[in-house]
Structure 1
Amino acid sequence: MADVVEITPLNLITQERDDWKVRVKVINQWSKTAYMKPESIFSYEFVLVDFQGHKMRASIYKNLMPFFAHTFKEGGFVDLSTFELKLNDDDWKLADHDLKICFLRKTTVRRCPPFKILRDVFNCVAYKDVQDWVLPKDSVFGKRYIVGQLVKLNRYKVDKDDNGEKKSIEFELSDASGEKVRCKLWGAHAEKLHDTLLSEYKKDEPVILMLHNCRYKDWEGPQVNNLLWGFKLFLNEPIQPIEEFKDALATAIREDDKYVKPVVEVDLGKDESSALTKFTDQENNKAYIIDDVRLFEKVCTFVVRGRVSSFAEKEGWFQYYCGTCDKKVQKTYDLEEMMYLYDCKVCNTTYKEANPKVRATIYVQDITGGCEMSLFDGQLSKMTHRSVQWLNNAAKNASDICDYPLELNKLLNKKFAFIVKHNLYGDENKLSGYTISDSTDNASVLNKLDAILKDKEAEYSAFDEDILVSSTPDVKKIPKFEDSGVASSCSTSTTPSSIGVKRPSPSQSTKDETPTGGTTSALGDLKIPKMEKL
């Protein structure tokens, strides 16, 4: 009979042996990415806890992601054995243990029955401890969280430097007794908070936030910031700390004679002046009508504005990529295994899992015509007010690349201004050669662009009766969203990367004489009726 390896508590794990076996719950998970490149994932990172409440970090590196990512997830209970131990040398430690678990190809992961943790893994940070510097400066709330009511929200900021955009938002939280704490979020977390409040904020309802894995620092006084890795933001979600705070707040309002309802100041506006400059600067980003850009033959950046009329049917809204080489894979169904497999031609390997990456193609129209434009997860997140993580999870749970989530439907028939990059790679590979690098639905920006493009559209309207808007007669608005939220299956029809031809000059004739002396369109019956102005 094989020897039974005993389960060891995490606090007793050392580098003296390499045959440890641990039983843990995964309490936190995130992806570690390249700086300013959220699509380039280096590793999956985790925080583990055992039944005694001891915590330890774990990492799965990029080349091993396809083997473990689908079995080792946040909230799961697992037994781990045959792993490597390395120093936990992260700048901000989210676990006290000096070592961290690193997965090997031979690491064994088995699900185990759920167990009860004997002591609280996390404790709420007292506001007074923050204000009075009871906690060490520049410390991490690795074992703690802070929860409170949003009472002040400053304007969301986007600053640019040589490294790209820096997004930030400052706010204040109040506890049930009226004590306040200053907070500031950076990057995608700042954007998520702003966009979520933009779509869900109700003036008469309290907004309760919980911040987990924060950094505590001195910035003109005590301030709570998010960590670069492992930070989590919860907004009015039905989890225990938020529900307990709501109960405490309701009790204070009902029973405390000294309770004063806080004055809530929420500024959900963005800096319109910077947006106006970015989208209407005719020297750096010249604005065009769509009819002028469809035949660009060089790499360039420009601005257009129009309505999103549909999604491209054939391409889907995401693609599958290899977890090892990060190249596109082919999804096939194995009749013997009764499951989908993913073939990577670069690695010459078939995997059971692949990484979905968001890349949607939308059809944008203005009065002069339309063309297809591609956008990736960051811009799709900005336009739909859904986080990148939400989009990635939706892609993972989708049955097919054409299984569109219902939330994308909100973009249809909506007007945006786009900063677009034209690249020759897309043209050469029969893909959309236009990639959206930024977008806005800011009314001031759209009105300014309307004024800039007014003369060009007037020139176009002068020849409107003789213009052929599309050279493809059978373009559909796609996908067709069903009530269930699942789009219709992919069609086998081709989708053009550009749907227009250049309008004729005034000197060019658009009609030919027929044998009977009448006139007809040069391209037959392909003429599309005049489009209504936006």
Structure 2
Amino acid sequence: MADQNISMLNQLNVYKTDSVVRVRIIRLWRQADNENPSETYSIDMILMDEQENKIHASVLKKFCPKVEGLFVEKECMLIKNPTLGKIYSKFMSVDNPHKLNFAYATKVNKCEDFGGHLYGFKFTSFDLLLQNLVPQNQSIDVIGFVATYYKMEDVTKKDGTQSKRMCLQVQDLEQRKITLTLWGTYAQQMSDYLSTNEDDGHVVIILQFGFFTYYNGRASISNSYNVTRLLINEEIDEILSFKKMLDLLACTPGASSSNGISRPSMLLSFHDDFLISTEFKHIAEVDGIREAMSFIIFGTIKFIPRDVKWYYHACKSCNKKVTPVMISKQALDGSCDDEEQGYECNNSGCQGKVVEAVLRYKILVKVQDSTGVLDLVLWDREAKKLLMKSANVLLEEILSGDIDMDLFPEDFKKLVDKSFAFKVQITDYNLNHDYKFYTISKLTQDPTILCELQKKLNFDQNTNSDSMHGISQSFPSDDTINFKDTDVVSMSGDNTTPLSRLESSTGNNILEKSKTTAINLKRNLVEVYDDDEAQGYSTNKSRTTSKTIGKENEKHNLIIPKIEK
């Protein structure tokens, strides 16, 4: 058959019924019958022509005996007289509104002269995914290496059936990370590989026909039913080329240590992390810690300060804190016409460039258990999970309501008097500079975890503490990937008690009395806190630490623990 009679897949239309296409089967699977899952409803495929146009194809069960033996993944076919159907699914496995169907008049023959690619990858940049610039109803292809992962776990799906789930973080060549969740056989495939190939160094994967979601400011990808292809360290050009680039980056002077990862690191599950592997402490014990460490506490958020800025501007590319600068706008004649404010990022990766800035959370909270009170910092990742909106959206809501942006956001009230298990990090910086605001690296309201931690607290039944209320609430993001604790550095400022959440009838008086304290606290926090994923801080600035926490607490309704004799 002459090539001029061959149609490309993007040339097919409903008006022409005698088309001939030459294609490769790049994915092949059986679709189960919804009413009888053990029976086949159809054989489905992704077909690709020599120009890498793709289309979803389907053969209904009653037509399968006629052509079934001709369908082999990666093989090529000539298809004559196919029909076109409309795709009604919200999720598009390929960028084509039509589905190619096999009917009685359709003829299929094998062919050997196909000149197209074997897979037809079209990789999507992590940057586009993280900025939510990709349609969420179309499949995507991504390539990256596995940076961290959780062990595979058994889960019960919404329909009551059992499945497997495995969560990972995949990183690209620009050190951008994205969460990947694998289900069912894909989770099993990844788990089996990691457990049996411990000396493979970088584990580079390709996820083809993956599913992209962007929720609550966080991008994530997963496999999509049976259409997804998962390739792990395969000897193909794309993966081999990616590995070479990783090796080159690792040898580059000044390269980040993350490029030198030789083996993915397994993260602990929330249950193991909070109940087994990380030491539990009462708040009263924290002041006696003399070495950098992470620990678990169980307490209730009692206060959030009103007069400390709860957000900061971060680089959209690297997430580091940025510096405001004035940028000259050049007129058409080359002269400086005007100036406007921009942001400069001094992180080594951005090298002082003027960058686009985004708002990130940095919320100070006062947490109480039966033994005392501790000042902690809730950074962007965990704050977005709790508030279900980004810092930028919250600030826009406040400004659109003609409310003073320095006032206490109404959304913060949902955090007060809520109990959590907190994983807290104390670093050398905290210890060397006596900064007593520590980072919350993880938190959860999982009822099983809270009940176990409650036993460790060994509450006195006669105390007035109500910090156990609400433990049956379920925190919706426990099953998502968290960054390793080393990605977050805890800083601390003046040990002055922040202003509490006050009733409106008394708030103004206490704000006036605490004006000096709030100004000092705000100044120190601006100097101390850098960003959510900071790796290092300047230590050449002297800061003082106030010792007035006891006097300030007398003004607020703190629960005073009973002293055991």
What is the TM-score normalised by the length of structure 1? 0.45
What is the TM-score normalised by the length of structure 2? 0.43
